[in-house]
Amino acid sequence: MRRTAPALLALFLLTGCGTAAPTIDLDDPMGTAGDAATSIGAIDIRDAAIAPADDAEGGIAHPAGSDVGLRLVAVNNGDAADRLVSASSPLAEDVDVSGERSLLGGATLLVGDTGSAVPAGAASVTRAAVTLDDLRQALSVGPTYPVTLTFEQAGSVTLELPVDNPDGR
């Protein structure tokens, strides 16, 4: 019950402000309730976060110089196809985008290990990876960090992403 109330409150608040509500699995240790969500054009982005650290030391989730993946779900609610063409962040020397990045109308793009359910009625599902290479600074659980995603049709959007807490707390 303790985990249910905050998750339901987050779902209520996100739904009330016109942003697509994230898929929340209370048994999922990644704890998606605090992740970033937004929309740009026909694309809804949800469950967006920087991957959790396997072993955080001294409050540092990812040390400077390391590589870290992102995770998110992008849903194309329109009829026209779109494509994730690039990603950038002042946090990293480079941002690598790989895999299938196309989003047909009604399709879902899963980036990284999302832990999210695919929306019912999704026309198709594609998978990609986005990696922040050679971090310029250490990342901690708690603050958020800017990452910009650029879609071919919808344009660019900057998200403030948290680092996922591996304990889901």
User: pLDDT tens-digit profile of 86-145?
Assistant: 999 999 999 999 999 999 999 999 999 876 666 666 668 899 999 999 999 999 988 999
Q: How many domains does the chain have?
A: 1
R_g over Cα of the chain: 15
Q: How confident is the model at residue 54 (pLDDT cuts 50, 70, 90)?
A: confident
Q: Is residue 167 included in any domain, yes or no?
A: no
Dihedral, CA of residue 42, residue 87, residue 28 and residue 46, to nearest 10: -20
3-state secondary structure at position 33: helix
Q: Is residue 168 included in any domain, yes or no?
A: no
Q: Is residue 98 included in any domain, yes or no?
A: yes
Q: In what order do the strands lie in the sheet with 155-162?
A: 102-103, 82-88, 144-151, 155-162
Taking the model in full, what pTM does it have?
0.75
Domain that holds residue 99: 4-162
3-state secondary structure at position 35: coil
Q: Is residue 169 included in any domain, yes or no?
A: no
